[in-house]
Structure 1
Amino acid sequence: MREKLKRSFFILTSMSIFILVLLFIGEEYDEPKKIEEKTHYLPKVSYISSSEDAQASSIFSYGVLKPKWDITLKSQVNGAITYINPLFESGSLVTSNTVLMHIEDKPYKSQKSKAEVAFAEAKLGLIQAKKKTENTNRYWELSGINSPPSDLALFKPQLDIAEKALEAARQDILVADSNLSYTHVKAPFKGTIIERKVGLGQQVVEGEPLLRLIDHQNFYLPVFLSEMQWKNLSNQWLNSKAKLYLNEGEVIADATIISGGYHLDSETRQYPLFMEVNSAQNDGLISGQFIKVRIAGKIFDNYLSLPESALTQDGAIWFIDHQDTLRFYEPKDIHYQDKHVLVPAPDKTDYLGQKIWRVATVPLSFFLAGQRVEPIEVLMEK
Structure 2
Amino acid sequence: MLLRILIPIVILCIGALAAWRAGIPVEEPKPEPSAPQVLKTEILELQRTDFQVMLNSQGTVRAHFTTTLTPQVAGTISTVSANFEDGAFFKKDDILAELDPADFKVAVSAAESGLARAQAALIQEEARAKQARLNWDDLGYEEEPSDLVLRIPQMKEAKANVDAAQADLEQALRNLDRTKIRAPFDGRVQKRVIGLGQAVGSSTPLGEIFATDFAEIRLPLSPRQLPFVRLPSKEGDPELKVTLRDALAGTDSQGWDAKIVRTEGALDEASRELFAIARIDDPFGVESGKRPLLIGQPVRATIQGVMLEDVFVLPRHALRGVNRIYLVDKLQPTIVRNQIEPVWSDEQVLVVRDGLEVGQWLSVTRLPYAPDGAPVEIVKPGTEAASAAESAAEKPVRAGS
Offset from partner CA, 1:224-260 (integer Å, 9 cap, x none) = 1222222333265655223223143467233232332
Equivalent residue for 1:297, pick from 305, 312, 315: 305
For structure 2, list consecutive stretches of 5 or more residues without a partner in the other structure. 1-33, 382-401
2:265 aligns with 262
Q: 1:120 to 1:296 in 2, by over 3 A?
A: farther
Q: Report the more deviating stretch, 178-187 or 203-212.
A: 178-187
1:286 aligns with 294
Contact 1:261 1:273 in 2 (8 A): yes
* Residue 335 (str. 1) matches residue 317 (str. 2): no
Offset from partner CA, 1:43-75 (integer Å, 9 cap, x none) = 443333442345332221000111122222123
Question: Residue 221 of structure 1: CA displacement?
Answer: 0.5
Q: How does 1:347-362 map to 2 (within 5 A)?
A: 347=355, 354-362=357-365
Question: Residue 267 of structure 1: CA displacement?
Answer: 5.6
Contact 1:69 1:215 in 2 (8 A): yes
Q: 1:281 to 1:204 in 2, by over 3 A?
A: closer
CA distance in 2, matches of 1:155, 1:377: 113
Offset from partner CA, 1:349-369 (integer Å, 9 cap, x none) = xxxxx2244434454434444
* Letter matched to residue 331 of structure 1: I
CA distance in 2, matches of 1:259, 1:51: 37
Equivalent residue for 2:280, pick from 277, 286, 295: 277
Contact 1:310 1:317 in 2 (8 A): yes
Question: Residue 373 of structure 1: CA displacement?
Answer: 3.0
SS at match of 2:225: helix
CA distance in 2, matches of 1:104, 1:345: 74
Question: Residue 300 of structure 1: CA displacement?
Answer: 3.4
> Which has the larger helix fraction?
1
CA distance in 1, matches of 2:129, 2:309: 84
Q: Report the more deviating stretch, 134-143 or 205-214.
A: 134-143
Q: How does 1:214-253 map to 2 (within 5 A)?
A: 214-234=210-230, 236=232, 239-246=238-245, 247=247, 248-249=251-252, 252-253=255-256
1:198 aligns with 194
Offset from partner CA, 1:162-211 (integer Å, 9 cap, x none) = 77666655554443333223322344345443333223222211101111
CA distance in 1, matches of 2:74, 2:341: 69
2:51 aligns with 55
Equivalent residue for 2:89, pick from 91, 94, 113: 94
Question: Residue 156 of structure 1: CA displacement?
Answer: 7.4
* Letter matched to residue 297 of structure 1: G
Q: 1:372 to 1:100 in 2, by over 3 A?
A: same
TM-score, normalised to structure 1, is 0.68
* Letter matched to residue 68 of structure 2: T
2:390 aligns with none
CA distance in 1, matches of 2:119, 2:221: 64
CA distance in 2, matches of 1:227, 1:234: 13
CA distance in 2, matches of 1:313, 1:150: 107
What root-mean-square deviation, in Å, do the aligned CA atoms of Structure 1 and Structure 2 show? 4.4
CA distance in 1, matches of 2:107, 2:304: 59
Contact 1:241 1:254 in 2 (8 A): no
CA distance in 1, matches of 2:118, 2:379: 97
* Residue 320 (str. 1) matches residue 323 (str. 2): no
For structure 1, list consecutive stretches of 5 or more residues without a partner in the other structure. 1-35, 349-353
* Letter matched to residue 202 of structure 1: Q
CA distance in 2, matches of 1:174, 1:45: 89
CA distance in 1, matches of 2:340, 2:132: 98
Q: 1:345 to 1:232 in 2, by over 3 A?
A: closer
Q: 1:215 to 1:280 in 2, by over 3 A?
A: closer
Question: Residue 222 of structure 1: CA displacement?
Answer: 0.5
Contact 2:77 2:197 in 1 (8 A): yes
Offset from partner CA, 1:262-315 (integer Å, 9 cap, x none) = 312356542211122123884322212221112233343442223444445745
CA distance in 2, matches of 1:375, 1:136: 122
Q: Report the more deviating stretch, 129-138 or 356-365.
A: 129-138
SS at match of 2:206: strand
CA distance in 1, matches of 2:181, 2:297: 30
CA distance in 2, matches of 1:141, 1:321: 125
Q: 1:236 to 1:88 in 2, by over 3 A?
A: closer
Q: How does 1:17-166 map to 2 (within 5 A)?
A: 42-85=38-81, 88-89=84-85, 91-96=86-91, 97-120=93-116
* Letter matched to residue 358 of structure 2: K
CA distance in 1, matches of 2:87, 2:238: 34
Determine what percentage of the aligned residue pairs are the same residue.
23
Q: Report the more deviating stretch, 278-287 or 217-226.
A: 278-287
Contact 1:88 1:193 in 2 (8 A): yes
Contact 1:239 1:256 in 2 (8 A): no
Question: Residue 102 of structure 1: CA displacement?
Answer: 2.5
Q: Report the more deviating stretch, 221-230 or 299-308.
A: 299-308
Q: 1:305 to 1:211 in 2, by over 3 A?
A: same
